[in-house]
Amino acid sequence: GDSVTQMEGPVTLSEEAFLTINCTYTATGYPSLFWYVQYPGEGLQLLLKATKADDKGSNKGFEATYRKETTSFHLEKGSVQVSDSAVYFCALRGDSSYKLIFGSGTRLLVRP
Amino acid sequence: EAGVTQFPSHSVIEKGQTVTLRCDPISGHDNLYWYRRVMGKEIKFLLHFVKESKQDESGMPNNRFLAERTGGTYSTLKVQPAELEDSGVYFCASSQDRPTEAFFGQGTRLTVV
């Protein structure tokens, strides 16, 4: 079945460091790919998405490119801030499905 | 516009007791979903309503879990009787007719002791 694998955390970075959180997926057809974020004490929020191969999703300085050849959707940010500290979830939705399939989440801690 | 609202935010119950979680979706969203994250693992799909009908309940773990959505508005998820392994964060989400973005609530943290 469809699945998502993302790097285990926690990831600890200093402010202004470069961030990469790896995400790979297994799916049939052409899934849509998502990154969700959960800030401390809050619910899940959609951070960015891509619906077809080579699409780049971006938001709040974060980017991820849908790479079908490597079945990946890695999250990147050039310069992280303390306020980016959160848990990040990679997810996919099959092209004929309504449900989301999530990875296990990666906790990011950014230190001043 | 109000977002997805879940009640309660936290619940601590003893093993064997019953707990009911509630979710109020965004007004006009026909699709409502329940998900669960157990012990820091991945968030797993439980079930999907379209209006008041269960479209997909393939993720429900066992018959101790009962979800309802009377009238196609709010939904409840009842766990009876609760077991220790049911502890986790239960998320509700809703979306419009087409499978567009799903909006999530803040979750209910359930602790079974």
| pLDDT at residue B1 is higher than 70 | no
| % of chain A at pLDDT higher than 90 | 85
- What pLDDT shows up at residue A19? 97
| A103 contacts on B by Cβ (under 8 Å) | 42
- The single-letter code of the amino acid at B38 is V
| pLDDT at residue B98 is higher than 70 | no
| pLDDT at residue B7 is higher than 70 | yes
Average pLDDT, chain B: 93
- The single-letter code of the amino acid at A101 is I
Average pLDDT over residues B18-24: 98
| pLDDT at residue A4 is higher than 70 | yes
Say if CB A7 and CB A21 are below 8 A apart.
yes
Of A4, A44, A98, the CB nearest to B31: A98
Residue showing tokens 């157990």: B38
Average pLDDT over residues B28-40: 92
Backbone φ, ψ for residue A88 (5° rounding): -110, 130
Does the beta-carbon distance from A102 to B43 stay under 8 Å?
A: yes
Of A44, A93, A104, the CB nearest to B42: A104
Helix (H, G, I), strand (E, B) or coil at B85: helix
Of A42, A89, A93, the CB nearest to B43: A89
Does the beta-carbon distance from B45 to A43 stay under 8 Å?
A: no
A vs B, Cβ pairs < 8 A, gives: 54
Q: State the Cα–Cα distance between residues B14 and A109, nearest whole angstrom.
A: 33
Say if CB B72 and CB B27 are below 8 A apart.
no
Average pLDDT, chain A: 94
- A49 at interface of B, judged by CB pairs closer than 8 A: yes
| pLDDT at residue B99 is higher than 90 | no
Average pLDDT over residues B11-33: 96
d(CA B50, nearest CA chain A) in Å: 10
- What pLDDT shows up at residue B88? 96
Q: State the Cα–Cα distance between residues B66 and B80, nearest whole angstrom.
A: 8
| pLDDT at residue B72 is higher than 90 | no
- A59 at interface of B, judged by CB pairs closer than 8 A: no
Of A4, A42, A46, the CB nearest to B101: A46
- Considering only residues A31 and B40, tell me which one the structure prediction assigns the higher pLDDT: A31
Report how far apart, in Å, the C-alpha atoms of B89 and of each of B10, B56, B70 are. Answer: 9, 20, 23
Q: Given 3-state DSSP classes, what are the helix, strand and coil percentages for chain B, each rounded to the nearest 5?
A: 5, 50, 45
- What pLDDT shows up at residue B105? 94
Average pLDDT over residues B16-39: 95
